[in-house]
Structure 1
Amino acid sequence: MTGGEATRKAPPEDGRAAENEGPPEDGRVPPAPGGLRALADLLRPRVSPGQLVGGLLCLVLGFAVAAQVRSTERDTTFATARQDELVGILADLGQRSERLRGDLRDLEETKARLERDEGGTALEEARERATTYGLLAGTLPAEGPGIELRIDDPRHGVKALNLLDALEELRDAGAEVIQVGDVRVGVDTHFLDVRDGVRADGRLLTAPYRFLAIGDPHTMTTALNIPGGLVRTLEGAGARVLITRRAKVAVGAVRSP
């Protein structure tokens, strides 16, 4: 046996030479493999730019899918509708669109007038509307061209229904303001037969019955005199009818607001 072979150590039989070796000569213990720093590195979340982009794409895709589902539901609703229903829907949408465009034009014109006149035009329009509503409601006196309708009733054959017919004929002929006796006619004016004559809105009317109507005199006169109309009916009941056209009719009776 040579000297080199005599100095070579044989390996341990169990193959765990590291466990039998002692500490290093300088007395320092090496750190454990991995250590706390390696464990912290493993537990720290790592987000790469690619992952961020992927997440954003998933979010956008989700919104797109939801929108497509809603769109598909609407498409399915219209797909099951009949042709006449679709035509009606389109017509309704067209009418709404036209009304909205008209309202928009009116608002723009009003705005332009207000900007030019600094409110003068709007104030004048408000006054005109107030006057018109007051005349229609019967709360304001009125003057204008029109007629006087006088009904004499010597035989007492004129009834409430005949006066109501006279009122309706005048309205249909375009009368804007009407007074019968001392009663200003309104939308709810009514006539009632009583022992002494006829009551209008609770007030007693006696012959001769007198209507004052503001409107186009020719149109109202023609409407009252049509064959088989009001005048012929009243004459058949024994009454005498006189229609007088006037350039100015003053209606002074008013209704309580």
Structure 2
Amino acid sequence: MPATPRPRGALERIRRRAGHDPTPEQARRRLRAITSLRLAPGQVVAAVITALLGVALVAQVRAQDEAGLSQLRESELVALLDDVSGRVDDLQQEVLELEADRRRLEGQQGDVAAAEAARERLQSYAILAGTAPVTGPGISVIVDDPDGGMTQTMLLDAIQELRDAGAEAIQVGSVRVVASSHVGVAEGAGGGSVTLDGAVLVPPFRIVAVGEPDTLAGGLAIPGGFLDSLRGAGATVQVVEGDEVLVDAVRPTPDLRWAEPVPATPSS
């Protein structure tokens, strides 16, 4: 059943009561009220300060995002690039070696290849444990510190910087540096002397590291690092790069008191 249309006058009265379709006079009054709106001075100041704070925060966030490496000095960027490049080269070389090992193990002479891989792995573990001498490219650092300016922190920095630069073997004086090495101080009549694994470092002494010579030398030359700190303390330091350096200090094989290998479980 179609709806019954309402009279035009009734529709207009309904719209006016609901607030819709105002009369021309009502529309003019509303427009005058809007255009005559005035803000208090305090509101204007608050709005301006809020806008300025928003602009400042946005600028600061963008500046922090865009800063990044641009705040580093050229020498720091060079050292960082060398470190990243060295790590990438090491990882790529490791991938190639692992792929070659897999191909050899999958070949016809798998047993022979497995035995050779085991011997190579044993040699690597001996180098890491410091139980075998090492030779190869690297650097020699001659330290002459007659005034005893070197501290524990300086020596720790040297070892850490060399490790970060990819040193595969490190020797300080007559001591081979391994994962368990510790730096201490031996108190004496002339003051404290830095020790490595209990051995007092008597100047002049040498620090020998096997690895990429340029990268190792760059790691020690980081501004504020080992070389800067030691020279600032009055010591004389000389870094010599070489195609073949010798790390001849070795560690005795430890006698294990508590650890025992777990017997292999036969596969079912």
TM-score tier by shorter-chain length is 0.5 to 0.7
Flag as ranges the 4+ runs of structure 1 deviating above 6 A: none
CA contact (8 A) 1:151 1:209 kept: yes
**CA distance in structure 1 between the partners assigned to 2:220 and 2:183 by the alignment:** 19
Separation (CA, whole Å) in 1 of partners of 2:224 and 2:194: 24
Tell me which amino acid in the other structure corresponds to 1:132. Answer: S
Distance 1:235 1:130, change over 3 A: same
Scaled by the length of structure 1, what TM-score is found?
Answer: 0.55
How far off its partner does 1:147 sit? Answer: 0.3
Residue 254 (str. 1) matches residue 246 (str. 2)? no
Q: CA deviation at 1:118?
A: 4.7
**How many angstroms does 1:153 deviate by?**
0.8
Counterparts in 2 of 1:178-193, with a 5 A limit?
A: 178-193=170-185
- Provide, for residues 143-201 of structure 1, a one-character-per-residue CA deviation record: whole Å limited to 9, x for no partner: 10000011111222112221111111111111000011111111011111113522211
**2-structure distance, mates of 1:209, 1:159:** 14
Question: Over aligned residues, Cα RMSD in angstroms?
Answer: 2.1
The Cα of 1:228 is off from its aligned counterpart by 2.1
The size of the alignment, in residue pairs, is 151
- Structure 2 gap segments, 5+ residues each: 1-97, 254-268
Q: Do structure 1's residue 244 and structure 2's residue 240 form an aligned pair?
A: yes
Identity among equivalent positions (%) equals 44
Whole-Å separation in 2 of the counterparts to 1:241 and 1:210: 10
Separation of aligned partners in 2, 1:130 and 1:116: 23
**What TM-score results when the alignment is normalised by the length of structure 2?**
0.53
2:3 corresponds to which residue?
none
5+ long unaligned stretches in structure 1: 1-105
- For residues 17-55 of structure 1, give each alpha carbon's deviation from its aligned partner in whole angstroms, at most 9, with x where no partner exists: xxxxxxxxxxxxxxxxxxxxxxxxxxxxxxxxxxxxxxx
Distance 1:123 1:112, change over 3 A: closer
Shift of 1:110: 5.1
Retained in 2: the 8 A contact 1:114–1:120?
no
Question: Which residue matches 2:198?
Answer: 202
Q: How many angstroms does 1:112 deviate by?
A: 7.6
Counterpart for residue 171 of structure 1? 163
Contact 1:179 1:251 in 2 (8 A): yes
Contact (CA 8 Å) 1:114, 1:122: kept in 2 or not?
A: no
Q: CA deviation at 1:111?
A: 9.2
Change (3 A) 1:228 1:120: same
The one of 222, 225, 229 equivalent to 1:229 is 225
Which runs of structure 2 are paired with 1:1-257 in the superposition (5 Å)? Answer: 113=105, 116-195=108-187, 197-257=193-253
Mapped to 2, the partners of 1:138 and 1:112 lie a distance apart of 29
Cα pair 1:184 1:255 within 8 Å, conserved: yes
8 Å CA contact retained: 2:135, 2:244: yes
Residue type at the aligned position of 2:145 = D
